[in-house]
Amino acid sequence: MKNILVTGGAGFIGSNFIYYELEKHPDRRIVCLDALTYAGNLETLEKALKNKNFRFVKGDITDRKAVEALFEEESFDAVVNFAAESHVDRSIDEPEVFLKTNILGTQVLLDACRKRNIRFHQVSTDEVYGDLPLDRPDLFFTEETPIHTSSPYSASKAAADLLVTAYFRTYGAKVTISRCSNNYGPYHFPEKLIPLIIANALEGKELPVYGEGKNVRDWLYVRDHCKAIDLILENGRLGEVYNIGGHNEKTNLEVVKTVLKILGKSEDLIRFVKDRPGHDMRYAIDPTKIRNELGWYPETTFEEGIKKTTQWYLENRSWWENIMNGDYVKYYEKMYKNR
């Protein structure tokens, strides 16, 4: 595969994937299409923009004309779709844009791919399976677990997944889907739990923990997710779903306390606040299929990954401060004003 379109590459996981690909496949060209919504940050791609094998295009995946024009201009071998509205709390307040981007945007990309017989990979989430009870630690999500969504976010992701498999069955589109558990690592937008806790703790601000902090998430270091997608793109079976997760289950309170310990900050900063409506209790992935079929395994334990991540936020303070103070939105203008 020589030329890959990565949508949503100015966000958290997409940008990590771009860096992974540029490093792992130096002969590969990566084009990033990103609308630069509040969650997109071109500063994240600063190093990639210096690489001759990388091109950034500002554009919306729901804009059929713009997407078609890009596909006519470029000759893609594959598309990896990260572009999405991704924050559950925002989906509860304003669901509509989630339906538009996550479902209709996926359809636009699927149409562009199936017309040209281009390989398409959909980056989905374990949240499409709903949640598991806390008192059944023996239960895990497999690829056969029924779709059972809780939030407008997860419902929109599930709808997109169903569309992807429908395009496989009806049109023979060359598709795969991955469903990963919670990621953490560099370039994670500080509205999500881990980066929010690190940033707030460093600024001596309160740390909001929803409910009693007993909800469990299955954390995966972002680079391990990128490695899995790369493997699926190379060797995944068409029409298949692959679950991705590394058996790193932690309660939210455990995560918050771990971060505080690494930073040497006091637990007095913790504030228990009103719970998220419909809050999923526990996510836990069974990754047997991807391990057996593609030889994937996670390389970073939670203990190592959370230390590396905290260190990254300490060393890249201006990256998240620019987000907190809103300056990051000026980066695109600055970069492109003379072009």
d(CA 200, CA 184) in angstroms, rounded, equals 16
Q: Enumerate residues 133-172 that contact ligand NAD by CB under 6 A.
A: 157
Exactly one of 60, 126, 131, 224 is catalytic; name it.
126
Asked about 68 being catalytic, the answer comes back as no
- DSSP one-letter string for 248-311: -EEEHHHHHHHHHHHHT--GGGEEEEPPPTT---B--B--HHHHHHH-------HHHHHHHHHH
Q: Which residue, judged by CB position, is nearest to ligand NAD in the bound state? A: 11
Which residues lie closer than 8 Å to 291 by C-beta, 6 or more apart? Answer: 297
**153 counts as catalytic:** yes
Quick one: tokens of 336?
């492109």
Query: In the stretch 32-71, what mask flags binding to ligand NAD with x, by CB under 6 A?
Result: --xxxx-xx-------------------xxx---------
Figure out which of the listed residues 145, 176, 182, 200 binds ligand NAD, where binding follows CB under 6 A: 182
Q: Report d(CA 8, CA 38) in Å as an integer.
A: 12
| Interaction between residue 176 and ligand NAD (CB under 6 A) | no
Residue 127 lies near ligand TDX (rule: CB under 6 A): yes
Q: Is 86 in the site for ligand NAD (CB under 6 A)?
A: yes
Could you tell me if 182 and 219 are in contact, meaning their C-beta atoms sit under 8 angstroms apart?
yes
> Annotated catalytic residue: which of 129, 153, 187, 331?
153
CB 110 within 8 A of CB 152: no
Residue 154 to residue 222: CA distance in whole angstroms: 20
List, in sequence order, every residue forming a beta bridge with 285; answer none if it has no partner. Answer: 141
Q: Which does 252 bind (CB under 5 to 8 A by kind): ligand TDX, ligand NAD, none?
A: ligand TDX
Site for ligand TDX, rule CB under 6 A:
86-88, 125, 127, 182, 192-193, 196, 208-210, 215, 217, 252, 276
The residues annotated with a catalytic role in the active site are: 126-127, 153
Interacting residues toward ligand NAD by CB under 6 A: 7-8, 10-14, 34-37, 39-40, 60-62, 82-86, 101, 105, 123, 125, 157, 180, 182-183, 189
